[in-house]
Amino acid sequence: MRSATKPGRQRRKEARPAEIMAAALQLFSERGFATTRLEDVADAAGVSKATIYLYFDSKADLFKAIVRDVASPRVGIIESLIDEFGGSATELLRALYNQASAIVGSQEMRPILKVVISEAGNFPDIAEFYRTEIAFRGLNAIARIIERGIKLGEFRQCDAIATAQSVIFPLLMNALATQVFGPLPELEPERFLPSHLDFVLRGLAASKEA
């Protein structure tokens, strides 16, 4: 009898970290990181508080695990896209926006952004972790595209890192606004992203004057 139930129990055990992280992310977004207790997360996940400590050392460690699980692979997709893409910088930037539509606007990423922005001042360790692991990686990835476009003569000379902020910050704010105000026609990424991409490409375009 034991061997008959063991695989199911094992699968349940393996699923627990993901279930805990999903419950925590929802609570962090709804209640805030500071006011959410690990007891609340345990109740929402259907486990004991002691079970949480089997997988995570603290509430901050739990949030960092969520970021690693949700955000880091998505940034990795963008980095791989840049490394492997063989077309022009303009085409690469368009491909990036297609990825951004799925990444920044995803149901998992929006709550993470909300938590980081709202709680960073009170929890500098979380802010530093997100800045290093996610934000700067994304910023440098976009700067690489801009630098490639400048070298190819597609984009005008500019400060790539500063310009990358002009590219990515509006994307983040659109995702954050959607998380705060809910899905509204004015905030639909399907409307915003093509408009912003057109704005960016026109601003980056190299002069055609001889």
Q: Is the per-residue pLDDT at 58 higher than 80?
A: yes
Q: Which of 56, 79, 99 is the last residue of a domain?
A: 56
Tell me what percent of the residues of the chain surpass a pLDDT of 90: 54
Phi, psi dihedral angles at 155 (to 5 degrees): -110, 150
User: Which amino acid makes up residue 139?
Assistant: L
Full domain range(s) for residue 163: 66-204
> Is position 83 within any domain?
yes
Residue 87 and residue 25 share a domain: no
The neighbouring-strand residues paired with 201 are none
Q: What is the CATH number of the domain that holds 32?
A: 1.10.10.60
Reported as a single tens digit per residue, the pLDDT across 81-94 is 999 998 999 999 99
Reported as a single tens digit per residue, the pLDDT across 17-50 is 999 999 999 999 889 899 999 999 999 999 999 9
What band does 114 get if pLDDT is binned at 50, 70 and 90? confident
Whether residue 112 contacts residue 50, with contact meaning beta carbons closer than 8 Å, is answered with no
